[in-house]
């Protein structure tokens, strides 16, 4: 309904004049004063009708005027915009619809969606739909928004909502929450952009449902929007609301300066510092207060600091596990109103090594080629092949990884190739490097030199123990890249330290896995929420375990590895109860673990192939087989072992024949199977290994073709 021209300038203008009262609207008292008797006699009828008609006209004009200005008041706000002058929000609305998205300069999920939002804004522009950003985070200044918009090449206007008026009017609580408005500024859809994020701290998955795009398509076509509201995954909007009174006595509330700053230095700022992989810094009171609720929540759930190994289950060095007392202190600080305390009690600022953490230059520096990572897409696992050109064997005691760009380098693994198999893969892919799945280089490596994850300390192997780096070997560096929402470049370096004394023992990588996998019989049924996999490996000789690297893919839920001695004694090696595909690392034992001959290494793992698993790559779910692709599965515990005997002779890597004999002996010593079944299994394993030898160690395109 639109008003007449006589009412368009205001609800009372001409209508007041018709009643002879131009200054204010009539009331019942006015009507009576003008002789408009509510119960008129015959002589008053004509006058009564004319007065009532005028009053009805007044009401009509008032309603019409309200209809004309029925858009919410917030649409008329004039706000500052990133890199622009103050502008009216309404001036940026689309003729057919407007997408209002709440953004943050610090939230990684919000930043991760910027390439998608840029693309959609460009596509919808010709359709009469515009994208309009709102930053309602009080701690983020207009200057930081302007810098952020420039760095991320934001292609649509982003307004600062300093008082939170727009967020409050639209009831937005999360970045990046979107509200789709129709041509009359009425809400047509609200919620997430799509379903790629299933939780904070989780890597994005492939998009199964693009909710916002579907809603806009329906709006433009004039058809009903099927889903009008969805749940948003992201960061809470920082409104700095007044804290409720604390239930903790004031003299018992921890303070930032005295209690919290030391904890953050010890457990968080290795990553959460300027230029670090953490999405925001936690080096001062303002930033800690800004993220206080998140710090309390993520530490309470043990999502942060990232450390997957169960404390006390295995004697593992370099734990990043946060003590429960520290978690309680953080919770009490948040519940007590996050007081700053006396700045004089702050600890000295933490200093980070600008060069090498061992305090000396490495003996060999491996430089990955510079790589440009796109702004949008899933995480990437890229392998770089680095020739060493060594004239002789070298013995590695320590490795240090220096990410070139800590914002995107999530973790790094290394593998050894002595047969040129990685070079073959590299030549078949557009470089630099080639893409594989996490934790696997695309071939059977002859060994590894270790790895790195944020927060890992550089440690040398125990005295006399080395990792062999054969002459002329290639080092394959797998870098897990986590996209930041903008184009990034990286050039990661690896420093290797060699033994200064004659080595005594060389590590050997022993994979403990279900042979049903490589033999094509491994399958996780569709819909199974807790599919169990058990496997074991019997040691044909006395060994010591130096490190362990559990490996599963997206369906993995938990893994436990133990060592059962011949006398029945059980040694715990590692337990991970909440597997995360994106946090895989090598765990170094505090001291080598003794494993007598005939010790059985036992692995028990569970997989969740249900629709309720947010990491499940298939919708609808389907049976999953063994394979190196991320959407296939594996179940392996890679254990680095050394023999217990010292050997002063030159150390050499075991030949393929020696490795095959080692594995076949293990299967023959396994008394859990009848002799006939063991013999058949050994024959099939030999055929599979021969197939791998003939292919140069490269896995076939499908592992389902089984040699018989």
Buried b or exposed e, range 674-702, using 16+ CB within 10 angstroms: eeeebeebbebbeebbeebeeeebbbeee
Give the integer Cα–Cα distance in Å for 587 and 573: 10
440 vs 123 pLDDT, higher one: 123
Starting at the edge strand found earlier in the chain, the sheet holding 508-512 runs 508-512, 635-643, 543-552, 587-595
Per cent of the chain over pLDDT 90 is 55
Q: Quick check: 171 pLDDT over 70?
A: yes
Closest Cα partner for 77 from 170, 179, 156? Answer: 170
- Identify the CATH number of the domain defined by range 74-236: 3.40.30.10
- Residue 423 is predicted with a pLDDT of 94
Q: Is 252 helix (H, G, I), strand (E, B) or coil?
A: helix
Lowest mean pLDDT: which of 45-59, 63-77, 564-578?
45-59
Backbone CA torsion sign across 561, 396, 541, 512:
positive
Whether 470 contacts 418, CB under 8 Å: yes
Lowest mean pLDDT: which of 15-19, 68-72, 81-85, 184-188?
15-19
- Residue 250 is predicted with a pLDDT of 67
Per-residue confidence band for 444, with pLDDT thresholds at 50, 70 and 90:
confident
Backbone φ and ψ of 412, nearest 5°: -135, 135
H-type helices in 90-227, by residue range? 108-112, 114-125, 142-151, 165-170, 211-221
Each residue of 457-508: pLDDT tens digit?
788 898 889 999 999 999 999 999 988 899 999 999 999 999 988 888 988 8
Other Cβ atoms within 10 Å of 371 Cβ, number: 21
Q: Quick check: 308 pLDDT over 80?
A: yes
Q: Quick check: 705 pLDDT over 70?
A: no
Closest Cα partner for 462 from 307, 640, 331, 582? Answer: 640
Give the integer Cα–Cα distance in Å for 452 and 468: 18
Each residue of 514-527: pLDDT tens digit?
988 877 789 999 99
- Residue 496 is predicted with a pLDDT of 97
Q: Quick check: 189 pLDDT over 70?
A: yes
Lowest mean pLDDT: which of 86-90, 355-359, 371-375?
355-359
* Span between the terminal Cα atoms of the chain, in Å: 79
Closest Cα partner for 475 from 366, 551, 369, 380? Answer: 366
Buried b or exposed e, range 525-547, using 16+ CB within 10 angstroms: eeebeebebebbbbbbbebbbbb
Helix axes 324-335, 292-300, angle to 10 degrees: 150
Each residue of 543-573: pLDDT tens digit?
999 999 999 999 999 999 999 999 999 999 9
Q: Quick check: 615 pLDDT over 50?
A: yes
Q: Quick check: 17 pLDDT over 80?
A: no
Mean pLDDT, residues 96-121: 96
pTM: 0.73
| Most confident range, picked from 312-321, 580-589, 691-700 | 312-321
For the domain with range 508-694, which CATH number is right: 2.40.30.30, 2.60.320.10, 2.60.120.230, 3.30.70.890? 2.60.120.230
Lowest mean pLDDT: which of 13-27, 114-128, 607-621, 685-699?
13-27
Cis bond before residue 432 (omega within 30° of 0): yes
Q: Quick check: 407 pLDDT over 60?
A: yes
Q: Where are the domains of the chain?
A: 13-68, 74-236, 250-345, 364-503, 508-694
Other Cβ atoms within 10 Å of 492 Cβ, number: 23
Chain-wide mean pLDDT for the chain?
Answer: 84
Closest Cα partner for 108 from 21, 234, 221? Answer: 234
- Residue 660 is predicted with a pLDDT of 66
Q: What are 211's strand-pairing partners? A: none
Q: What are 181's strand-pairing partners? A: 98, 187
Backbone φ and ψ of 508, nearest 5°: -130, 130
274 vs 557 pLDDT, higher one: 557
| Most confident range, picked from 118-122, 247-251, 373-377 | 118-122
Backbone φ and ψ of 500, nearest 5°: -95, 0
Per-residue confidence band for 57, with pLDDT thresholds at 50, 70 and 90:
low
Looking at domain 364-503, its CATH architecture is Sandwich (2.60)
Per cent of the chain over pLDDT 70 is 83
Per-residue confidence band for 270, with pLDDT thresholds at 50, 70 and 90:
confident
Mean pLDDT, residues 321-330: 94
Give the integer Cα–Cα distance in Å for 683 and 680: 5
Same fold, 364-503 and 508-694: yes
- Residue 368 is predicted with a pLDDT of 96
Give the integer Cα–Cα distance in Å for 480 and 408: 8
- Residue 38 is predicted with a pLDDT of 46
Each residue of 623-663: pLDDT tens digit?
999 987 778 999 999 999 998 877 655 566 666 667 667 77
């Amino acid at each position: 309904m639109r008003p007449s021209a006589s009412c368009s300038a205001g609800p009372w203008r001409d209508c007041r004049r018709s009643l002879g009262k131009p200054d204010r609207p009539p009331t019942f008292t006015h009507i009576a004063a003008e002789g408009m008797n509510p119960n008129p006699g015959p002589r008053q009828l004509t006058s009564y009708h004319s007065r009532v008609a005028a009053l009805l006209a007044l009401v009509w004009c008032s309603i019409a005027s309200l209809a004309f200005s029925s858009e919410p008041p917030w649409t008329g706000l004039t706000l500052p915009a990133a890199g622009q002058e103050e502008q009216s929000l309404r001036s940026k609305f689309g003729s057919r619809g407007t997408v209002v998205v709440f953004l943050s300069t610090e939230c990684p999920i919000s930043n991760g969606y910027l390439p998608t939002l840029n693309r959609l804004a460009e596509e919808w522009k010709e359709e009469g739909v515009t994208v309009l950003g709102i930053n309602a985070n009080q701690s983020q200044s207009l200057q930081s928004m302007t810098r952020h918009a420039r760095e991320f090449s934001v292609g649509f206007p982003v307004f600062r909502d300093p008082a939170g008026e727009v967020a409050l009017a639209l009831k937005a609580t999360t970045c990046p929450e979107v509200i789709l408005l129709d041509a009359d500024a009425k809400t047509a859809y609200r919620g997430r952009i799509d379903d790629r994020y299933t939780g904070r701290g989780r890597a994005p998955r492939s998009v199964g449902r693009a909710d916002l795009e579907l809603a806009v398509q329906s709006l433009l076509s004039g058809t009903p929007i099927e889903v009008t509201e969805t749940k948003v995954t992201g960061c809470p909007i920082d409104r700095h609301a007044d804290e409720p009174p604390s239930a903790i006595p004031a003299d018992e509330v921890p303070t930032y300066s005295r209690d919290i700053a030391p904890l953050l230095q010890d457990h968080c700022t290795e990553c959460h510092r300027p230029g670090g992989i953490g999405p925001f810094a936690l080096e001062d009171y303002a930033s800690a207060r800004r993220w206080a609720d998140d710090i309390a929540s993520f530490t309470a759930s043990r999502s942060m600091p990232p450390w997957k190994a169960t404390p006390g289950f295995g004697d593992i060095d370099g734990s990043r596990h946060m003590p429960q007392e520290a978690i309680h202190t953080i919770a009490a600080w948040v519940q007590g109103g996050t007081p700053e305390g006396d700045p004089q009690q702050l600890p000295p600022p933490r200093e980070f090594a600008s060069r090498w953490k061992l305090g000396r230059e490495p003996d060999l520096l491996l430089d990955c080629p510079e790589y440009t990572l796109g702004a949008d897409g899933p995480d990437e696992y890229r392998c770089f092949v680095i020739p060493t050109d060594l004239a002789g064997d070298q013995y590695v005691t320590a490795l240090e990884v220096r990410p070139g760009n800590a914002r995107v380098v999530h973790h790094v693994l290394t593998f050894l190739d002595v047969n040129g198999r990685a070079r073959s893969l590299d030549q078949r892919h557009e470089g630099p490097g080639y893409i594989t799945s996490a934790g696997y280089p695309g071939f059977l490596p002859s060994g590894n030199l270790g790895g790195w994850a944020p927060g890992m300390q550089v440690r040398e192997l125990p005295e006399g123990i080395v990792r062999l780096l054969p002459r002329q070997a290639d080092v394959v560096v797998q870098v897990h890249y986590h996209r930041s929402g903008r184009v990034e470049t990286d050039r990661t370096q690896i420093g290797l330290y060699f033994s200064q004394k004659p080595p005594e023992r060389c590590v050997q990588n022993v994979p403990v896995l279900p042979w049903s996998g490589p033999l094509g019989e491994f399958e996780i049924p569709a819909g199974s929420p807790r599919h169990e996999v058990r496997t074991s490996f019997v040691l044909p000789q006395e060994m010591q375990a130096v490190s362990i690297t559990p490996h599963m893919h997206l369906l993995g839920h938990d893994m436990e590895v133990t060592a059962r001695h011949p006398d029945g004694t059980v040694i715990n090696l590692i337990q991970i109860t909440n597997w995360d595909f994106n946090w895989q690392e090598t765990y170094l034992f505090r001291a080598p673990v003794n494993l007598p001959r005939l010790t059985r290494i036992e692995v028990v793992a569970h997989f969740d192939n249900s629709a309720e698993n947010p990491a499940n790559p298939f919708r609808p779910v389907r049976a999953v087989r063994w394979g190196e692709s991320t959407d296939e599965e594996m179940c392996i515990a890679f254990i680095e072992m050394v023999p217990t005997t010292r050997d002063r002779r030159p150390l050499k890597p075991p030949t393929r024949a020696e490795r095959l004999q080692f594995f076949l002996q293990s299967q023959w010593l396994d008394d859990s199977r009848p002799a006939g079944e063991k013999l058949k299994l050994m024959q099939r394993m030999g055929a599979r290994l021969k197939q791998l030898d003939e292919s140069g160690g490269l896995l076939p395109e499908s592992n389902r073709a089984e040699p018989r």
